């Protein structure tokens, strides 16, 4: 139910809306909850609304953490 | 897909699994509750259990909005469609939730009720615009992830002057449910459900931030690790919980830093606060009446509140006698301990709500784990 997917903002459309690219599929969504979103940013999309931003540096850091072996 | 596939890498999963096995103390047990249905689903679907040591058990929590939706709320929606002739819109997950008289929204639709499955509240708004002669009601369910979109849809309906749109609000609150689990007699008094820590919500936390969980760490001395919904996220969170328990810490840690901050999404919180207020009490399937655990539409937006508009009353309905959803949602029983599991109750013919959504503990176990219960023998 809380399913949400990270998608790249491909284009800003008028006030509060954007076209997103989700693995090749383009869809119009509302970005009213993340007004700071720009083209190229990744947003987290749920029921047609971006509910948050994805931080690429933090994503990279988390992936690095997974690869660490315990002492 | 970027930021999804990387977090499902099998080699890395085995590496984290090895770390968990290596760091878990064999002389004790670990029991962690994953609150969210999204985590329950990931654990079942990706076989996370197979990578965990035998002394570490995951307990499924009540964080599946479809599963905790009581029969009485679905009955309200069905009555609206049949008796008031409204066009009732809702999310796909809700369609098959069992209601009274052997009905569900799906079956009511088959009997002629105008029930529409929508992806977004925006679709319900569009239907209202396109059908000015009809009353369109959006049956809104979900936790804090799903609530801000409903708030924006109501504000949009107001700004567009839509006269025929309203919302049957059944939004519920995550921190209230966690508090209820922690205060339940099974956890506090009988210790029948010993919980050593929580895997905290992913997308709910994008909205509310990590701060609301800090009380659980300090007041109840339970570690909380917020985790994303991908399998590597869940495994890393389990490792972080094992470390907290081993070191005697009870803190809120955040594994899902790529999307969750301590403060959350202020814009989404403001939209929720503008449109909704906390209900005194709300019935949850499995948990009963939980104080201050759900939202209703504020008086300023009463015109869009289906409960006011159609003068609806809530009538509680008991669950199927043999259905163990209640005990399963509280972590007291496992799906396989229910008599109905896998025979009369399957995802095709769910008797209880936990078998409906793919995030429900029963549906997740039925779809991905039921053959694990059967010992492998050579032919």
- Domains, chain B, in order of start with CATH, read 5-62+185-201+211-254 (3.40.50.11750), 67-174+264-309 (3.40.50.11740), 325-365 (no CATH)
ipTM of the complex: 0.96
Q: Count Cβ atoms within 10 A of the Cβ of residue B36 and give its class: 0-12 exposed, 13-18 middle, 19 or more buried.
A: buried
CB B208 within 8 A of CB B267: no
Distance from CA of A26 to the nearest CA of B (A): 13
Query: What confidence score (pLDDT) does residue A70 get?
Result: 63
CB A5 within 8 A of CB A24: no
Q: Do A67 and B15 touch (CB under 8 A)?
A: yes
pLDDT at B189 over 80: no
Q: How far apart are CA B7 and CA B348, in angstroms?
A: 30
Closest by CA to B327, choosing from B64, B69, B60, is B60
pLDDT at B29 over 80: yes
Q: What are the distances in angstroms from CA B280 to CA B47, B159, B172, B283, B291?
A: 40, 29, 12, 11, 6
Model confidence, pTM? 0.94
Instruction: Using pLDDT thresholds of 50, 70 and 90, give the confidence band for residue B250.
Output: very high
Q: Which domains does chain A have, with CATH numbers?
A: 5-67 (2.30.30.140)
CB within 8 A of B270, min separation 6: which ones? none
Other beta carbons less than 10 A from residue B373's beta carbon: 11
Only one residue has tokens 């205060």, namely B183
Residue B148 near chain A (CB below 8 Å): yes
**Which member of A46, A47, A55 has the closest CB to residue B258?**
A55
pLDDT, tens only, B283-318:
998 888 999 999 999 999 999 999 999 999 999 998
CB B242 within 8 A of CB B251: no
Instruction: Using pLDDT thresholds of 50, 70 and 90, give the confidence band for residue A71.
Output: low
Q: Do B120 and A47 touch (CB under 8 A)?
A: yes
> Which backbone phi and psi does A43 adopt, to 5 degrees?
-120, 160
CB B306 within 8 A of CB B312: yes
Beta pairing partners, B358 = none
Identify all chain B residues contacting A30, using CB atoms and an 8 Å cutoff: 122, 149, 152
CB B319 within 8 A of CB B71: yes
Only one residue has tokens 């990744």, namely A42
Residue B257 near chain A (CB below 8 Å): yes
Residue A35 near chain B (CB below 8 Å): yes
Residue A2 near chain B (CB below 8 Å): yes
Mean pLDDT score across all residues of chain B:
94
Q: Do B259 and A54 touch (CB under 8 A)?
A: yes
pLDDT at B110 over 70: yes
Q: Which two tokens stand for residue A45?
A: 């999309």
Q: Do B143 and A6 touch (CB under 8 A)?
A: no
Distance from CA of A31 to the nearest CA of B (A): 10
Identify all chain B residues contacting A32, using CB atoms and an 8 Å cutoff: 152, 267
Higher pLDDT, B91 or B331: B91
Q: What percent of chain B has pLDDT over 90?
A: 83
Q: How far apart are CA B259 and CA B254, in angstroms?
A: 10
Secondary structure of chain A: what % helix, strand, coil (to 5)? 15, 45, 40
Mean pLDDT of B129-153: 98
Closest by CA to B122, choosing from B144, B91, B93, is B91
**Which member of A2, A4, A32 has the closest CB to residue B152?**
A32
Query: What confidence score (pLDDT) does residue B116 get?
Result: 98
């Amino acid at each position: 139910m809380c399913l949400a997917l990270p998608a790249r903002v491909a284009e800003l459309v008028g006030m509060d809306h954007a076209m997103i690219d989700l693995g090749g599929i383009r869809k119009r969504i509302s970005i009213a909850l993340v007004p700071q979103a720009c083209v190229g940013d990744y947003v987290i999309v749920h029921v047609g609304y971006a509910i948050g931003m994805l931080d690429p540096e933090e994503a990279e850091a988390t992936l690095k953490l997974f690869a660490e072996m315990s002492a | 897909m970027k930021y999804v596939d990387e977090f499902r890498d099998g080699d890395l999963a085995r590496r984290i699994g090895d770390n968990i096995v290596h760091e878990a103390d064999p002389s004790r047990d670990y029991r962690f509750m994953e609150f969210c249905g999204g985590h329950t689903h990931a654990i079942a679907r990706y076989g996370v259990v197979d990578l965990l040591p035998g002394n570490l058990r995951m307990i499924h929590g009540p964080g599946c909005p479809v599963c905790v939706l009581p029969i009485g709320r679905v009955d309200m929606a069905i009555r609206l469609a049949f008796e008031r002739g409204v066009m009732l819109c809702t999310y796909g997950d809700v369609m098959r939730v069992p209601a009274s008289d052997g009905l569900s929204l799906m079956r009511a639709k088959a009997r002629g009720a105008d029930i529409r499955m929508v992806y977004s509240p925006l679709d319900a708004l569009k239907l209202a615009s396109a059908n000015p002669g009809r009353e369109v009601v959006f049956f809104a369910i979900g936790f804090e992830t799903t609530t801000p979109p409903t708030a924006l849809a109501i504000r949009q309906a107001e700004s567009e002057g839509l006269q025929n749109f309203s919302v049957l609000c059944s939004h519920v609150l995550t921190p209230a449910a966690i508090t209820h689990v922690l205060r339940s007699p099974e956890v506090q008094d009988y210790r029948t459900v010993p919980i050593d820590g929580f895997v905290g919500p992913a997308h709910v936390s994008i909205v509310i931030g990590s701060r609301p969980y800090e009380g659980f760490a300090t007041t109840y001395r339970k570690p909380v690790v917020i985790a994303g919904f991908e399998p590597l996220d869940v495994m890393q969170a389990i490792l972080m919980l094992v470390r907290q328990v081993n070191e005697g810490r009870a803190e809120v840690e955040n594994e899902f830093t790529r999307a969750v901050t301590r403060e959350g999404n202020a814009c989404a919180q403001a939209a929720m606060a503008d449109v909704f207020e906390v209900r005194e009490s709300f019935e949850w399937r499995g948990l009963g009446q939980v104080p201050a655990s759900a939202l209703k539409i504020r008086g300023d937006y009463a015109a869009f509140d289906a409960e006011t508009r159609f003068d609806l009353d809530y009538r509680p309905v008991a669950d199927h006698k043999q259905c163990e959803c209640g005990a399963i949602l509280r972590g007291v029983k496992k799906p396989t301990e229910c008599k109905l599991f896998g025979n009369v109750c399957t995802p095709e013919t769910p008797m209880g709500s936990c078998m409906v959504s793919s995030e429900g503990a029963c549906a997740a176990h039925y779809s991905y784990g039921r053959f694990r219960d059967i010992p492998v023998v050579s032919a």
